[in-house]
Amino acid sequence: MLEAKSLTKAVVPSTLIPNPSPANLHSSRLALHVSDDGSSCWVYIASGRHIYKLQIPFEDSLVSKGKESLLIPIHAEVMDSFLVNRCPHRSEIQGIVLQESESTGYLMLGSVDSYGDLIVSKLDTNGKDVDRLTYTVSPRDHGVGESSWAGLCFSPTQWSMAAVALNFSKTVDIYDQDIHVQTLRTVNLTHIYRLLYPSALSFMQNLHSGNESSILAVAEGCQLTIWDLRMKENGGCLQRICGSVGDIYYAVCSSSTGNIAVGGADRTVTIYDPRRWSALSRWVNCSKYEITGLSFSSIDPDYIYIQGVDYEVLCGHWKARNKLFAFRGDSNWLGFSKCHNRDVLGGWCDSGSIFVADVVAKESEIKEDFDNESTISSVNSSP
């Protein structure tokens, strides 16, 4: 079982961002990672055409709960904040992603704007530029179309591979650094003239090969589509799962075990098994409003974090469909994200407040597991 170790609230200095830009309903303009010493975290937020960076400390005081298992935050001061020094976008940023690579020790910071322009920077774990490696990629239509929501995700095993989705263009473009590899057309295969709008995307682990991530999950309209980047048949579309007609999906994610979660306007989280393409669980009405963010726990993939469009984030067991705890911002979310390999969550409100939650495994269960391992070791070592 999980428990919240800390919940910190900090306010973005008004001198840094006087008035945040609104972006799209389900745009995610926050990314974060924990510092090397584990005492604080670096938070990246995007407003307008720029990205800003803030350092927020973790508070060690005990977390108290209010009504409905709501966590009460501890106030903290921003330790450091500044504008990220790189080329600004030509339009409003719709999403930022921070990809951590355990093998190389680098961070990949990517951002995409409303016309599909992509900028990627290579950083070290302290957030500094490494060899000033930054590249930009323009959309295939050179940005002459209409601006809309745009999403971005990196391959978890190939840091150079990225996927960019454009809502109004109804396309998903795959890039290897600044080289365009292919374009996925989000077309309904049974009704060729009915085009659907992508609203979320995420790479997932390929359960068959296990050594590369070539499977991409895309939420488009009321459907979840699975794409194999190596396949040529059907344009690479491997599977198409239809949800409730008229209910748009806004969030999709995958767990370390390969399960896929999707949620949206119907306020329901559905977990799919990619081996049979069947629903393992449906957590109906788990959120008060539309779901715009999902992330499986890195500690225990049986738990999932759910972000509502208003100001609430909850953690629950998706198999038992039980809520464990929740916390609320003081206004609507402008961005929500979870660390790549830790259960550290961050949310940014349009009031300027940033909430950071550090979630760990329950100490009683850790002690029980340690005692069991000690017992097994003693039995194996006895004559």
User: Does some domain include residue 225?
Assistant: yes
Q: Mean pLDDT, to the nearest integer, of 27-35?
A: 92
Report the pLDDT value the prediction gives residue 62, as an integer from 0 to 100: 80
Report the pLDDT value the prediction gives residue 127, as an integer from 0 to 100: 62
Report the pLDDT value the prediction gives residue 192, as an integer from 0 to 100: 46
Domain with residue 107: its CATH number is 2.130.10.10
Instruction: Measure the CA dihedral 358/108/300/285, to 10°.
Output: 80
User: Does some domain include residue 369?
Assistant: no
Q: What is the DSSP string of 91-117?
A: S-EEEEEEEE-TTT--EEEEEEETT--
3 state SS of 9: strand
Q: What percent of the chain has pLDDT over 70?
A: 86
d(CA 92, CA 100): 25
Note the helical H segments in the chain. Answer: 363-381
d(CA 124, CA 147): 32
User: Does some domain include residue 67?
Assistant: yes
What's the pLDDT band for 158 if we cut at 50, 70, 90?
Answer: confident
What's the pLDDT band for 191 if we cut at 50, 70, 90?
Answer: very low
User: Does some domain include residue 9?
Assistant: yes
Neighbours of 16 (CB within 10 A): 16
Report the pLDDT value the prediction gives residue 235, as an integer from 0 to 100: 76
251-307 residue pLDDT tens: 999 998 889 999 999 999 999 998 888 999 999 999 999 999 999 999 999 999 999
Model-level pTM? 0.90
Q: Give the containing element (helix H, strand E) for 45.
A: strand 40-47
| Six token digits for residue 318 | 């998706």
User: Does some domain include residue 194?
Assistant: yes
- Say if residue 366 is exposed, middle or buried (CB neighbours under 10 Å; 0-12, 13-18, 19+): exposed
User: Does some domain include residue 27?
Assistant: yes
Question: How many structural domains comprise the chain?
Answer: 1
Report the pLDDT value the prediction gives residue 372, as an integer from 0 to 100: 53
Residue 143: C-alpha distances to residues 20, 91, 96 (Å): 24, 10, 19
Percent of the chain as helix, strand, coil, to the nearest 5: 5, 50, 45
Residues found in the chain: 383
User: Does some domain include residue 380?
Assistant: no
Report the pLDDT value the prediction gives residue 54, as an integer from 0 to 100: 94
Cα angle 24-296-177, degrees, rounded to a multiple of 5 = 60
DSSP 8-class letter at 88 = P
Does residue 379 or residue 152 have the better pLDDT? 152
* Beta pairing, strands 107-113 & 93-100: antiparallel
Max mean pLDDT range (65-74, 200-209, 233-242, 330-339): 330-339
pLDDT of 351 higher than 90 = yes
Identify the residue whose tokens are 């950083």.
123
User: Does some domain include residue 151?
Assistant: yes
Mean pLDDT score of the chain = 86
Report the pLDDT value the prediction gives residue 370, as an integer from 0 to 100: 43
Name the residue range of residue 11's domain. Answer: 2-361
What's the pLDDT band for 188 if we cut at 50, 70, 90?
Answer: low
Report the pLDDT value the prediction gives residue 206, as an integer from 0 to 100: 53
